[in-house]
Structure 1
Amino acid sequence: MKFITRKKLIPVLVTFLLLGIILSQIRIEDLITTIMNINKIYLILGFFLYILSYVFRGLRFHILLDKKISFPDLFHIVCVHNMVNSILPARSGELSYIYILKKYHDKSTGEGVATLMVARVLDFITISLLFFISSLFITDLPEMFSSAIWLVVLFTVLLAIFLVILLYAGEVFLRFANAVSITFKLDKNVFVIFFLKKAKEIVDSFKNIKNSGKMMELCIISFLIWLTLYFLNYTLIKSLDMNIGFFEVLLASTFVVFMSILPIQGLGGFGTYEVGWAIGFIGIGLTKELAINSGIVVHIIGIVYYVLLGLYGYQYLCKK
C-alpha cells in the first residue's frame, strides 16, 4: 500500500518541481500580459483545427475497427479518451480507450490494445518524419537539432520495423508462447491461460488490420492528424503575435511530443510540456522568457480545448 501511495505521489512531485523551476525563470506579470493580449480570432480558429484533428482521429479508429463502430461514436470516444489521457500522468489514460470500447461497444481487450498500438506507432512514425522534413526547409539549423535528426531517423526506422512485426509476426509469437507454456507445464495455470487468451485476441486483431488493406489510408490520415495539430500550434503562436515560420514551429513543438513519451510526465502534462516547448523554441532562437511564456499559454489553451470536448464527449456517452 505504501509503495502504491509513493507511486501516485511521484507524478505530483515531478509536476510541482518542474513548474517551480519554470516559473522561477519568468515574471508572472509578463505571463499575465501575454494572456491578456491573445488574439481571439486565432483562438477560435485554433479550436476548429483542434476539432478537425479529433475528426481525423475518430476516422482512423473507425477504419482500424473495420467500421464496426459508427464514426460519431468514435469521435466522442476520442474526445473523452484524449481528455483523460492528457490529464493522467505517464500516459496512463490510454487505458480509457480500451475501457470505453469494452463498456459501450462490447469490444475485446485485444481489439482495443491492437488498434491503439497501431495508432500510436503510426503517430510516432508520422511525427518523426515531419520533424525530419521540416529540418530540410530551415536554413542555419541549430546544432542541437542537427544532432537530433539522425536519432529521429533511426527512431523512425525502428518504429517501422516494430509495426511490421506487430502486423506480421504475431502468430509466430503466439505459437512460441504456447510452446513455452506446454514445455514448462504452465498450460493449466489460470494466469497463463488468461494471458494466452488475451494475446490471441490481440494477434487476431492485428491480423484483421493487416488483411484490411487499409494501411496506406491509415498512414495518410495519420499525416492529416499531425499536420492539423502543427497548424494548430502555428495558429496559437500567431495568436500571441509571434512571427515564426510554420516549419520552425513544427520543428520546435515536436519536442513537446518527445517529452510526452517519457514516463515522468506529471498531472495534466504540467512541467514536462513547458520544458519540451522551451527546449524547442529556445533552440530556434527565442529568448528563454518568451519561450516559457508562450509554452505555458499554449498549454493552458490546449487544456481548455480538450476539457470542453472531453465533457461534451462524456455527456454523449452517458446518454447511450
Structure 2
Amino acid sequence: MTTSLESLESVPPSGGPAAEGAGSDFARLSRRIVAAGLLKRRPGHYVVRLSLVSAAFVAGWVAFFLVGDSWWQPAVALFLAFVFGQVALVTHDVAHMQVFRGRRPSALGGRLFGNLGVGMSYGWWMAKHTRHHANPNHEELDPDVAPDVLVWSQDQARAATGLPRFLGRHQARLFFPLLTLEAFNLRVSSIRALRSPTMKHWGTEAALLLAHIVLNLSALFLVLSPGKALVFLLVHQAAFGVYLGATFAPNHKGMPTLKGDARPDFLRRQVLTSRNVRGGRLTDVLLGGLNYQIEHHLFPSMPTPQLRRAQVIVRAYCAEIGVPYHETGLLRSYAEALRHLRRVGEPLRAAGE
C-alpha cells in the first residue's frame, strides 16, 4: 500500500453506478446503512460489555490484594494491563456516543472510565481524537501523525531536530520498545492539558486524575515492598502502553497521508487513509472493534457490534464506486506500519546521521 498522495490523486472524485443517484457518495452509502438498521443503539450489548469489563477490573484488584507481597504480582500486573486496555476501549466507545444517547452521560462515563479508571484525561483525548477523525493522516491537521518522538513522513524526517532526528533513523526497530512508554506519555499529556485554557471541567478532570494516581500508588506501596511495588508499576505501565499501541497502530500507520490542501471528499478521506484488520471474534475483543477502522471512521457513532455487518455493505459499495478498500491480517498490518516507518527514516540514514 503506497503511503503518498498518489493513490489518493488517482481516485476520481466520484464514479461508478452510484454516481447516477442524488447526493454524495457518502450520502448514498449512509442511506444503505440506515436502511439496514445498523445505526440503532445496542443497549443490551453494552450492558454486558461494561459489566464484564468492570467485573474484570474488580477481579484484577481483588487478585492483587489476595496475592499480597509476592513475586507473583507481575502476572497480576499483566492481567490488569489488559483490563486497563479494555477500559480504554470502552472509553473510546462512550466518547463516540455509542453507549449513551446524550452528551452529558457520555462525558460523565468518559471521565469515570478514562480519568479515574486508567488515568487518561477524557477532555484532552476527546479534543485530540475529534481532530483525528476530521482529518485522518493529514500531516498538518491530524495530531496522531504530528512529529513528536517519531516522524511519520520523509518531509517530517528532513525537518526533524533533536530526539526525533536521532531516533528517526531506526524508528521502525524502536517502535514497539517505545510503546512501553506510551502509558506514561498519556498521563504526562493529560496533566499538561489541565493547564490549557480550552480544557472544560478541568477541576473535575484534575480531581479524578489525582484520585487515580493516589489510589493506585497507595495500593501498590501499602501491599507490596518498595522493590516489588516498583516492578509491578513498571510491568503494568509498560504492558498497558504496548497493548494500547498495538491496538491503535494497525488503524492508519503506513496508510496514505495527506498534506496541505489535499482533502478528498469525506468518504475517500476516511476509507483511503484507514486499514481494516481481518479476524474473528477474538480479534474483535482484543481490538475493541477498531479492526473495522474504515466503518468506524465513516460512522463513528455506530455501535461496535454493528461494524461487522456494516463491513459487508461498505466493502461492496467501495468496489461499486471504484474506491480502494484495504484489509489485511493483524501481523501484516504491523509489518506494513513498520515498513512505512523505515521508509520515512531513509533521508536520515542517507545523510549518515
- Higher relative contact order (Cα pairs below 8 Å, separated by 6+ residues): 1
Structure having the larger proportion of residues in helix: 1
TM-score by length of 1: 0.32
TM-score, reference length from structure 2:
0.30
